[in-house]
Amino acid sequence: MSLLQAATEVRLNAWAPYSRFKVGAALRATSGKVYTGCNVENVAYPEGTCAEAGAIAAMVAGATPALPRSGSSPTAPNPCPAAAAAARRSPSLPMPM
């Protein structure tokens, strides 16, 4: 499965009742396994979770140390800035965004 396809599929699971802007993200680990995440909004803005952070959390929970490639669904104009910054700051997440 391509990263774009995985991100597009998981986007359908997003919880975006306020913005109605659903986003999916997919990360491929060095093992080849694909981890996905979707955005989850919260009425207490900005306490929601971006799709990229969800995918990073899934990857960390799966005990995978590195992310050589990433992708996000076609509706996302850019990766979430907070998730991109976290990935750049962590040496265990060498992920180009």
Is residue 47 annotated as part of the catalytic site, yes or no? no
Cβ partners under 8 Å of residue 19, min gap 6: 41
Domain total in the chain? 1
Contact at 8 Å (CB) between 85 and 97? Answer: no
Residue 67, φ and ψ in degrees, nearest 5: -125, 95
Residue 96 lies in a domain: no
pLDDT digits (tens, 9 = 90+) for 51-91: 988 988 898 888 776 555 555 555 556 777 777 776 666 65
Q: Which domain holds residue 76?
A: 3-89
97 or 30, higher pLDDT: 30
Residue 59 lies in a domain: yes
Residue 94 lies in a domain: no
pLDDT, residue 88, reads: 65
pTM summary value? 0.75
Residue 95 lies in a domain: no
Residue 10 lies in a domain: yes
Residue 52 lies in a domain: yes
pLDDT digits (tens, 9 = 90+) for 22-54: 999 988 887 888 999 999 999 887 788 999 889
Residue 8 lies in a domain: yes
Q: 94 pLDDT exceeds 50? A: no
pLDDT, residue 96, reads: 44
**E strand or H helix that includes residue 35:** strand 34-38
pLDDT, residue 32, reads: 85
- Catalytic one of 9, 41, 47, 52: 52
Q: Domain of 43: which CATH number?
A: 3.40.140.10
